[in-house]
Chains A and B, each alone.
Chain A
């Protein structure tokens, strides 16, 4: 483990430098995206004041507002550019260079992305968390923050990121068959965004669909960590969803390895 960190530390460092370079741009982009959260915030406030009921399909107004911001936070932090990075390397052929180096292709990307992530963590994490907690305190009149739940959230978030990363890397390999990844990447992001609960809680969907999505890897990407954070999951649900996250993570790591081995074989047969 120590050895791995030593080998891949330069990649993390490069990622940090890269993120620092695009710092100002990043802040503006995030501000643009946070606007969407506020639109949803006002929309849901209007929904609750128009509906007259205390809850909307099981969510109170406080739950809903927390959901909006925490799901934004989660999907921003669990975001991965893996498919793009892999796709580009395949298109320009530099992936062949990866094969002659004594390092793992996926880990190099992973550690670089973790480095880049320092920027979003340092800029997005604290303001959004504190904002949500203040909001919950003002509305309910009591401190809602629970350190134990928060730690579970962090764990689930890390798993969500790793799954997302490997899903994206696997997806990036499709560049071997497709000429251009723009269209399919867009389609993929929209489908995953919706099915992972980043747009609306999966509980709002028809029960059968929601149950299927909960079981499939989609829920593991955003929905699970958010539900843990805002306290909608009981101990049993937390345990099962953790189990599912781990199963899916192993599945995608394995899948990535299989595709990679196939690629190596194919490239060495064709001679790059």
Chain B
């Protein structure tokens, strides 16, 4: 995996953090965490399936490859990466659902997969794609069951419900069976369920998936409130970069099982924010041959050209080549029907990193 050498260069945690006593600041420790899955290869046909029945052929797939990161108490950490990057696998290891192949993680002094029962008392988990509520029970009953399971006493339960009700507005549907709730209501109910026992850490796996803008906003506000009021540490995975920008203090980005960025959003922007994109529609595509950015600017690997047959996009670093020079040179070489230069926002940056198009140099 090439990702692991990238992560060395990319590691944005200042060295000084490591020198402070770990018990004092960090709540979550993840060390060289790794997870392999065994996958059986199915051969086609009757003969093949008989063969795989007797002696299955397997191959090992590394879903998460030696990831390290730390999270201090009270932080909201955005955990992002493309589909299949291994985000969910990491979350599942941190919540005690999966046992790591090697490496370790420690949260609030506990090892999730070893002290599972006592550990999960201190965390709340929401998986956006599936509910933890009981499908046929009225929502109110669900909370009664959870109260017993988490052994919350009557007094705290009452106070807690009042608080959650205020933040998440559960009243309007608390007597309905869970199966009748809308997606947005269900998500609010799920978040409330995960917070009933006042966890120290809250894991949110795509909490805004499939929701409309208004509901998304409500949920973000609720998460923020809880984080501020109770110093709850939040680990958030999402595909919605609005979530990240609004909520997260820091992000950890992974791709193909390895960490490729770890730092503040501001730092990500500072580091890669100079990347610009110039898009144009040439009047004559054959004239494109005249463009020679490397020759003109005497820079290697600073410019990337992509031509999809309709648009041509040129990505470049405005620190090294000014926008003015770029435009002047391009327009001097050919006629364009349309042209514009845009600032790469965080979404663009991440997209770029996903496609490993942002060049990393230490």
Contacts and interface: CB of A to CB of B under 8 A. Distances in A.
A and B, one complex? yes
B182 interface: no
A91 to B, nearest CB: 16
The bracket for how many chain B residues form the interface is: under 10
B338 to A, nearest CB: 46
A24 B53 CA distance: 9
Interface string A7-37: 0000000000000100110000000000000
A211 to B, nearest CB: 47
A23 B45 CA distance: 12
Nearest to A24: B53
B297 to A, nearest CB: 59
B144 interface: no
Contacts of B53: 24
A168 B46 CA distance: 32
A93 B169 CA distance: 35
Interface string A232-264: 000000000000000000000000000000000
A23 B46 CA distance: 9
The bracket for how many chain A residues form the interface is: under 10
Contacts of A23: 46, 49
A40 to B, nearest CB: 30
A23 B49 CA distance: 10
A24 B46 CA distance: 11
B129 to A, nearest CB: 22
A126 to B, nearest CB: 16
B301 to A, nearest CB: 50
A20 B49 CA distance: 10
A20 B47 CA distance: 12
A24 B40 CA distance: 16
A23 B53 CA distance: 11
Nearest to B53: A24
A217 B77 CA distance: 69
Nearest to A23: B49
Contacts of B46: 20, 23
Nearest to A20: B46
Contacts of B49: 23-24
Interface in B39-88: 46, 49, 53
A24 B49 CA distance: 9
B44 to A, nearest CB: 11
A23 B47 CA distance: 12
A72 B188 CA distance: 53
B56 to A, nearest CB: 12
Interface string A22-60: 011000000000000000000000000000000000000
Nearest to B45: A20
Contacts of A20: 46
A102 B41 CA distance: 41
Nearest to A21: B49
Interface of B: 46, 49, 53
5 contacts: A20-B46, A23-B46, A23-B49, A24-B49, A24-B53
Q: Which 4 pairs between the two chains have the least Cβ-Cβ distance?
A: A24-B53, A23-B49, A20-B46, A24-B49
